[in-house]
Amino acid sequence: MKNLSKLPAKAWWVFIFKPFLKFGTAFCFILGGFILLLSQVILPQFTGQDSKLESPQNSVLGAFNVDTPSPMVGVPLPKSAKLSSSESLTITSGVNEEVPDTFLLTIPKLNIKEASVETNSVNLSPDERLGHFRGSAIPGDIGTTFIYGHSAAPLFFSPNNYKTIFSTLPNLTVGDEFSIGINAVTYRYEVTETKILNPAEVAPLKDYGLETGSSSSVVLMTCYPPGLTTSRLLVIGKLVY
């Protein structure tokens, strides 16, 4: 055994604390991973994304409550006008005369294929399908279709799990395309802009067509950063055909 009394002062510290430093580093990595898992995945599932909570401030929709009538939210608007033949590209007149209960969203870049969207949803926590904000435009009509869904840490993303389906939505950039299928018609959209807003700044019934230069547009929204409820990410797309 080494005679510690003969070691230099510096060697004393190295000899005593080397095992601690070795295992302490591993412990810090494990603790950091646990904190990340807790904050990014576990807590969001139990503290802010439940439509039954008394306050919806931390839900996907933030401060908006689709069950409470107000000038801004929760009131179904009159059926939006159809695009005229001169404005439409491949839109068939009258395809949305009967509004279906659901429609389908496909985002090739994110490997999301025909995800189900509940039309005119009143669900603040869309765990079983994406939500279409009640009163926003039906795809193919004049105006903006507002779609919202959950996110989690990108590590847990699954295109088939509606609790994580929008986890990689931040990967969409200007020029990327996605499509919506409704009533046997497919509409294609091109991303024109992304925005990060405070929850109180989100306006689900705003018409983003003026910003996109299109009579028909779509907003895809989720919590940001993915898995947290600090802000909201809006991906805005215009109809291309």
- What are the tens digits of pLDDT across the range 179-199? 999 999 999 999 999 999 999
Q: Please list, in sequence order, all residues whose beta carbon lies within 8 angstroms of the beta carbon of residue 13, skipping any fewer than 6 positions away.
A: none
Please tell me the pTM assigned to this model.
0.68
| Structure token pair of residue 173 | 């950039």
- Condensed to tens digits (0 to 9), the pLDDT of residues 213-227 reads 889 999 999 999 998
Structure token pair of residue 47? 């503290």
Do residues 105 and 115 touch, judged by C-beta distance below 8 A? Answer: yes
pLDDT, tens digit, 9 for 90 and up, residues 43-85: 544 443 433 322 334 467 765 544 433 333 332 333 333 443 3
